[in-house]
Structure 1
Amino acid sequence: MESHPDQGALFRIDLPLAEVNQADITGPSTDKAEVGAIIGLVEGQNEYRILVVEDQPENQLLLAKLMESVGFSCKVAGNGAEGIALFQTWQPHFIWMDRQMPIMDGLEATKRIRELPGGREVVIVAVTASAFLEQRSELLEAGMNDFVRKPYRFNEIYDCLAKHLGVRYVYEGAPEQTPPIAPLTPDMLAGLPASAREELKNALESLEPERIANAIVLATAQDPQLRKTLAYLADNFDYPAILKALPS
């Protein structure tokens, strides 16, 4: 340390650091927190139904809001028996199952659901206030796929859904994601009028973007999905893919 009256102080410190190897340097972080909160689901995915089986009203409300706020369909049951009834009538894809509930607990409800038609396919994840990880084997033996502990952490809830359902999310501040398009096949263009196919072919061979865009609009007036597919390929200058799919 060096210090001088009316001038301030200078502090120095030596750290015993080793030089890093290039192989140890990680790439840019992909932490979800950097792009903001989850605000929805990427378009083009299945419409998943989520059932919340929970006896505490505040937990029911929290989980239901977390599901609905990003676009899942959600229903709530107050105990295991109600959960079984809703499973049979609504056929959810995923169930949040509380461990301890009156009338019928989550373990018994899970065992019974697994014996019902479609019960082997549904994902069931336990929610428990227990801090004892040794209960994991008890939950899995009852037929549950996984578990999360209370109090709920938003990222754990959404990560669990992504893990078991494969859902993809839209994050606040992230670039807009283009929904996947169906591969273009000759069958998709075979139903177009011959004049429309001919104009589309001539437009593509002219390499004039405006003429190509007009030809796509005219050819797909009755088929918005085909228009999206053709427009996507044209915008990415993949003209050969369209020409290859055009019937001779």
Structure 2
Amino acid sequence: MTQLRIAVAGGTGWIGRLVVAAAHDAGHDAVVLARSTGVDLITGRGLAEALRGADVVIDVANLNSNRGAKATAFFETATRNLLAAEAEAGVGHHVILSIVAVDRVAVGYYEAKRHQEEVALAGPVPVSILRATQFFEFAVQMTDHAVGPFVPAPRLLTQPVSAREVAAELVRIAAGPPQGDKIEQMAGPEELRLDKLVRQVIKTRGLRRIAVPLRFPGKAGREQANGGLLPRGEVLIGKIPYAEWLSSPDGHATAP
């Protein structure tokens, strides 16, 4: 197997740390692109130096906002800066983590991710895109970040997947040829409602808290509650069921 130098944009985040670990497990060298390592994706500061000698970039960078305009500006700017620096450095492959149903569900953050895909596909570096369903970890994040005895839990029907399995798949894709607009989908082995996952987190941890099911308004809310987030067509199915994940060290980790 050829050892690659993989640069991970957003490598200090939850999924980013798992991608870095998966790259090392696969025998590759990983470089983290984050502000803490002197790289700013929005200004471009430090990108040229960090990408020197890199073979591929895996972009899992994110922002803590669901506002469509803000998310679109972030993903467009970061993606254009990455691609320009990659072209200059001779990087031959750009891999993006996206979301299942970004082409079907009209909510701001999803539309921003879809725009990111389009910018990347039109850019100067060959691209691969992996769309994943919601991570198991989202239920833990909602529980850990809630204030007070109530945990708001969206009534989303999804097919959630282990972030660790997604990270390993991103590294596998990075080591292969660019796929262009042949977009891969990945999901977990079960259709589950997100609010029920939150209840299981509360029960498993013995917390004195209550999950409060919420439904997003409008057409998009109805779509998300009734299967609009489920994958369609060809999809790679993860091996780990939710109950098994929840009892593992990943399931007991505290959300960042």
How high is the TM-score relative to the length of structure 1?
0.39
How high is the TM-score relative to the length of structure 2?
0.38
Larger Rg: 1
